[in-house]
Amino acid sequence: MRKELPLIIAGIILVSAIIWWHYDSSVDVKIVEINAPRTLGVDTIRTDSMNEIELVIQNNESKNVEVKIETENAFVDENGKSADTFIVFGYNGYHYSDYISTQDKISLEPGENRLTLLLGYQVTGEQNVHIRIVNNEVVLDEESFTVDVLPPELSVELNYELESIGELNIYNIDAYVINSGLGRAENVETTISIIDPDTKEVMSSENNNFDVPAYSKSSFSTWKDSHAGVIELSSGENSDESYMPAQAVVKEKIGKQYIVKVTAVWKEQIAEKEIIVPENRSVLEVEL
């Protein structure tokens, strides 16, 4: 009998484990539909619900079932590491007003349940998103889909307007970063330089750093209604005007020309353009 006791105990444990597994795995909850974007911009925030997943879950039980929604690659940081996402329940037009982490349990009512999950990426490229419905550490159902995360597409615009006041010809220079892509460009580094064409010396310049949302146009100047740069040419004495807040400012006599160069850099993307001022002749335009 003593020899048979370990076998009896092992059998009881095995039967208990099978019953426990069968009980938990018999919970009838299924993913019936996933509505998700197939393309998304990098670093995008909410735009027409583009960064949201609608997850439709059918609970065929007669009572509420508590589950966790586990995700992989729904959120990916700048190092390519997957992070937990959020289940959201309300948006007031400015921000999500009600949400919980996917680390928290939710209660599924009998019948159809619709949940909204967030997508977010700080890296570009194809992402394989995996979703699991888990109850008591048992996976009830799981599905996958792919999202192609697109970068911004940057270019620059550069022009000037002449303003004549007495002996002064004032060339107000305006420059813009244009993003024609789906992705958001964060921390775009911009430079405007006024260069002597004979010596190639940079006479004055200004650097800035700002974000450029998808499908938008942003001024090189971070000050409202300010020009990116100013060239003042005079037939007599130059003025005492500082032209602040513009920092790229040069004053000289009429007859002098300058190269105005602007550059915008985001990661591997570089957009550049140069013009001669006061002669409105494009000498270089490079967009990579």
57-84 pLDDT tens trace: 999 999 999 999 999 999 999 899 998 8
Rg of the chain's alpha carbons, rounded to an integer?
Answer: 30
Tokens of 62: 């007669």
Distance, in Å, from the CA atom of 87 to the CA atom of 64, rounded to the nearest integer, reads 18
DSSP string, 47-59: STTTTEEEEEEEE
Beta-bridge mates of residue 128: 146
Q: For position 83, what pLDDT does the model report? A: 86
Q: For position 16, what pLDDT does the model report? A: 57
Q: For position 45, what pLDDT does the model report? A: 60
Burial of 140 (0-12, 13-18, 19+ CB in 10 A): buried
Cα–chain center distance at 11: 56
The type of residue at 26 is S
Residues of the chain with pLDDT under 50: 22-24, 281-288
- Residue 285: other Cβ atoms inside 10 A: 13
- Rounded to the nearest 5°, which phi and psi values hold at 9? -65, -45
Tokens of 169: 């010809």
Q: What dihedral do alpha carbons 127, 133, 137, 140 form, nearest 10°? A: -120
What is the 8-class DSSP label of residue 20? H
Q: For position 4, what pLDDT does the model report? A: 60
Domains of the chain: 28-150 (2.60.40.10), 154-287 (2.60.40.10)
Tokens of 30: 């299924």
For the four alpha carbons of 276, 280, 282 and 287, in that order, the dihedral sign comes to: positive
173-183 pLDDT tens trace: 999 999 999 99
The type of residue at 185 is A
